[in-house]
């Protein structure tokens, strides 16, 4: 499979002061193949959203490389870079309530990208917006309404139409279902699946829900405190995790069947997640890991290939 997007040792820091910085994403290497869905999972504050935004240029890179179709992307985007690359790479944001401008109509919100990046006429613009409203399950006459007139699920559909109207090749979906009711989550997931098949999209799907990520993704990457712990085929990672963090994360995911959930042994992660300002030496999970050894507290493990070429893990148990 040809890589469409690739991150090589991608790093993003946020400086708080002269002597303090947030290690949001550090030395992350991950590729997304053409027409592939890669799920990115981890606890809140693990750096998933920052990684996605850095990959598409919404954050400048502190170091490392991001590539699109083999082209090395700029470290910090200028307006001309956004003009050239935005039609190819888009992002669906997490919060459908704050990501839509309340002063703009739905037609203006969805059509803004076309207006900025193409020379389409006003009539064609309205036709395209109407077409996309219908594609995401809304009505063409909704384009004159404002965001506050829609439910959360409808707003997320509007966000999807805004991102996809330019027909991008790569889309970062930043927890597009976390703010929605369970019944609406399934509708949005099915919609993304239909659009992916129809348009041949390549997606980085960021989420908390591991079972949902397994359902929608071809591969799964597990992130903790700004670093990758494990990468592999979604079913392999979910049913046969290799990293202790992945094991505990999946073990803490509730079963859909209440009887199975009641019988299942309790799985919790001990301790508190360290501050990204004061990252511990060695493996970032070492202070909470039930299998930690002395070297885990001293030496940072590299993300290495296991016998299966599609399986990678960053753990001293496998070195």
Per the structure, the count of domains in the chain is 2
Cα dihedral 153, 159, 161, 164, rounded to 10, equals -130
How far, in Å, CA of 94 to CA of 201, rounded? 19
pLDDT tens for each residue of 251-295: 876 666 566 556 555 566 777 788 899 898 999 999 989 899 999
Phi/psi at 174 (nearest 5 deg)? -90, 95
pTM greater than 0.75:
yes
Instruction: For residue 94, tell me if it sits in a domain.
Output: no
End of a domain among 167, 186, 208? 167
Crossing angle, helix 182-199 and helix 152-164, to 10 degrees? 20
The residue range of the domain holding 242 is 3-88+168-318
Residue 292, φ and ψ in degrees, nearest 5: -65, 140
Q: Are residues 199 and 263 in the same domain?
A: yes
Flag whether 129 is in a domain: yes
- Give the tens place of pLDDT for each residue, 46-89: 999 999 999 999 999 999 999 999 999 999 999 999 999 999 99
- pLDDT (tens digit per residue) in 99-119: 899 999 999 999 999 998 988
Q: Give the CA-trace dihedral at 15, 170, 46, 285, to 10 degrees.
A: -110
Whether 38 and 156 share a structural domain: no
């Amino acid at each position: 499979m040809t890589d469409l997007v690739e991150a090589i040792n991608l790093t993003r820091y946020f400086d708080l002061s002269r002597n303090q910085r947030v290690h949001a994403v550090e030395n992350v290497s991950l590729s997304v193949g053409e027409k592939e869905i890669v799920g990115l999972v981890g606890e809140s504050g693990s750096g998933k959203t920052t990684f996605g935004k850095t990959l598409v240029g919404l954050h400048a890179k502190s170091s490392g490389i991001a590539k699109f179709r083999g082209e090395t992307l700029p470290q910090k985007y200028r307006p001309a870079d956004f003009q050239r690359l935005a039609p190819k790479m888009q992002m669906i944001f997490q919060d459908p309530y704050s990501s839509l401008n309340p002063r703009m109509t739905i037609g203006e919100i969805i059509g803004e990208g076309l207006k900025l990046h193409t020379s389409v006429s006003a009539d064609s613009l309205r036709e395209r917006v109407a077409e996309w409203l219908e594609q995401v399950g809304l009505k063409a006459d909704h384009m004159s309404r404002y965001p506050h007139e829609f439910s959360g699920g409808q707003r997320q559909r509007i966000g999807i139409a805004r991102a996809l109207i330019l027909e991008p090749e790569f889309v970062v979906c930043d927890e597009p279902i976390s703010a929605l009711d369970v019944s609406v989550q399934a509708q949005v997931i099915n919609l993304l699946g239909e659009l992916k098949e129809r348009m041949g999209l390549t997606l980085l799907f960021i989420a908390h829900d591991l079972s949902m990520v397994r359902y929608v993704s071809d591969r799964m990457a597990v992130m903790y405190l700004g670093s990758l712990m494990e990468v592999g085929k979604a079913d392999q990672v979910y049913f046969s995790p290799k990293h202790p963090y992945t094991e505990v994360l999946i073990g803490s995911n509730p079963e859909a069947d209440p009887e199975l959930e009641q019988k299942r042994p309790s799985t919790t992660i001990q301790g508190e997640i360290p501050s990204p300002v004061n990252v511990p030496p060695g493996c970032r999970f070492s202070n909470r890991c039930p299998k930690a050894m002395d070297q885990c507290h001293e030496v940072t493990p590299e993300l290495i290939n296991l016998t299966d070429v599609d399986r990678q893990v960053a753990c001293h148990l496998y070195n």
